[in-house]
Amino acid sequence: MECLGYGKVHRALIVIDETCDKLYGDQFRAYFERYGVQTRICTLSGGETSKTLDFTLRVVDAMAGFGMMRRSQPLLCVGGGVVMDAAGFAASIYRRGIPYVRIPTTLMGIVDASVGLKTGVSYGGGKNRLGSYHAPKCVLIDTSFLETLPERELCSGAAEILKLALILEPELLIELEENTPHILLDKFRSLAGHRLIRNSIRIMIQQLSGNFQERDLNRLVDFGHSFSPYIEMRRVGEILHGEAVALDMAICIAIALRRNLLDEPFAQRVLQLFRNLNLPTINESFSAEELFGALEDVVLHRDGLQRVPLPRKDGPGLFANNIELLDVAWAVDYLRNG
Ligand SMILES: NC(=O)c1ccc[n+]([C@@H]2O[C@H](COP(=O)([O-])OP(=O)(O)OC[C@H]3O[C@@H](n4cnc5c(N)ncnc54)[C@H](O)[C@@H]3O)[C@@H](O)[C@H]2O)c1
């Protein structure tokens, strides 16, 4: 708790995911009591339906009610990507920015949501429509939280590891293939699981550094994030974030196949890995027209160009700015009928 550089911390507000509070709240309370840190706990529910401005404002109210000092009393965010994004947003706007610490408890939180500077909530039907860039003072990672994470949530987080493997690092793909399904059975707590987590964080940091505020919108880490915001928001609370990312990646793999960026055996090999990780490759309820239409908002978000990352067989992916309805229709048909 001296990570803030202001000496010993005496008071802190903890925003904790409701499920995590039930599982780990007593341990947190005992820990801070033991070290003489006065805390107030603000419990909020995780899950995508909670990622709203109301969540953020409840954290703001809790900070005001606690009478938090502006620099020396941090906000501790304990939970998955939802708590870190929505509470991190509160930290970034309260008194124009107060220090906060991320303590991720999901695989998604550990390998992705806790790595960059992004905070935010969804608004008006748009995913992460309101948000900011606000660096945490530190991120504390403890993979033992994963022991209680349901398998479906674990697989959702694994989609982000798969993303990095497919778009950036073929070695990571092999590592993931060789260790699936064991990593799901031991909840990423084996040496192999830890190595995959470490490598993913390393790749994320390499990709983000120098571009933390996304001045350059050509970001390979956006692979899987072109069609997925639409998919996720249309089925909010039903399709998990990582599952929407998987559906998006599958479409992009098929488009890459159509454009000869990769071959059929490679596409089939990768789609098998999706299945081994219990990740979906197609959702029957979305038509090609609807998915193609989703790119309209992406073009606004990416300042006038599609910039859709597509994977290549042997190396880093590339950006496509000319995806047409025909590409998406071909991809949907390929994924439905093989
Ligand atoms: N800021 C970023 O750069 C970034 C990157 C990736 C994802 N995200 C965001 O993260 C969100 C998804 O995060 P998520 O997948 O962690 O979802 P989440 O925060 O909703 O957590 C998933 C579920 O797991 C439960 N949970 C959390 N920790 C647990 C534990 N240790 N044991 C048992 N249950 C536990 C939660 O209560 C919740 O029901 C999305 O909103 C996405 O946009 C942000």
Q: Give residue-wise pLDDT tens across range 69-100.
A: 999 999 999 999 999 999 999 999 999 999 99
Annotated active-site residue in 51, 118, 127, 163: 118
Mean local confidence (pLDDT), 158-169: 98
Q: What is the pLDDT of residue 1?
A: 62
Q: Which is nearest to 299 in space by CA: 290, 308, 291?
A: 308
**Residue 51 scores a pLDDT above 90:** yes
Q: What is the pLDDT of residue 63?
A: 97
Question: Tens digit of pLDDT for each residue in 220-234?
Answer: 999 999 999 999 999
**Residue 2 scores a pLDDT above 70:** no
CB 66 within 8 A of CB 13: yes
Establish whether residue 134 lines the binding site of ligand 1, counting it when its CB lies within 6 angstroms of any ligand atom.
no
Question: Tens digit of pLDDT for each residue in 131-154?
Answer: 999 999 999 999 999 999 999 999
Verify whether residue 118 is a known catalytic residue: yes
Beta bridge partners of 259: none
Tell me, what DSSP letter sits at residue 280?
A: -
Average pLDDT, the chain: 96
Mutational pocket test of ligand 1: of 48, 85, 110, 133, the residue with most ligand atoms within 8 Å of the beta carbon: 85
Q: What is the pLDDT of residue 286?
A: 97
287: left (phi over 0), alpha (psi -120 to 50) or beta: beta
Query: For residue 36, what pLDDT band results from cuts at 50, 70 and 90?
Result: very high
Between CA 85 and CA 122 the distance in angstroms is 10
Query: For residue 8, what pLDDT band results from cuts at 50, 70 and 90?
Result: confident
Instruction: Using DSSP, state whether 98 is helix, strand or coil.
Output: coil
